[in-house]
Amino acid sequence: MKTIGLIGGMSWESSDSYYQIINRQVKAKLGGVHSCRSLMVSVDFQEIADLQHSGDWEKLTVMMVEAAQSLEKGGADFIVLCTNTMHKMAESIEQNTTIPFIHIADATAIEIKKHKFTKVALLGTKFTMEQDFLKKRFTEKHNIETIIPDQQSRDRIHSIIYGELVKGILNESSRKEFIEIIDTLLKKGAQGIILGCTEIGLLVTPKDTNALLFDTTIIHATQAVEFALRDLKTGN
């Protein structure tokens, strides 16, 4: 079994989901009391969030690269960055490490293509929705068009993520707002909805909507397990 290197803490709420999903799937696949081999570098999200909102992406890049390098030095066989927004630094991480990097957009695109979808909506932080680091990858590498909510909805989603979800606060009123935004995006032609922030899946689940949801946390964690077990010869 390969050792998974996780860059977490952004927020720890979603990193906890990653850890649970990965270990449950390893146990399901291998049986017994198997669990994943993993390392995690977990950052202080307050520091990360402050730098994000002040626009200091250069310092954030240094922090993510250093975290990835720590995992590589510690014996990780590949890297999983447990957040969508910080995939803005994915290229820098890949350039400064020698082990594989499992990109969250690539993992998500695999699932979208299974449904033969070519146009999906992207929900996430304002950084993820408004900047191109994920949207461009979906378009150029996977030929998948992404659409985003209007400005007011983007502001509201961002506020709920940072004001509630990263703190583990799940409000029914916020869930209803998300569902209304999702319904609007479906009417605009979205064939499915990418939950492009690793905390959104804590609030919105398939039972809440008829839309096909692509929960990046579940998809990314599942891809990590598949990669970790790919060359495993036996479950014993």
Report d(CA 120, CA 138) in Å as an integer: 10
Residue 83 annotated to the active site:
yes
Residue 193's nearest CA partner among 157, 229, 156 is 157
For residue 9, give every residue at least 6 positions away whose Cβ sits within 8 Å of its Cβ, in sequence order, or none: 15, 41, 42, 43, 44, 45, 48, 82
Which of 82, 125, 146, 197 is an active site residue?
Answer: 197
Question: SS3 for 141?
Answer: helix
Which of 83, 97, 108, 217 is an active site residue?
Answer: 83
* One-letter amino acid for residue 174 of the chain: S
**Residue 128 Cα to chain centre, angstroms:** 11
Which residues are identified as catalytic? 83, 197
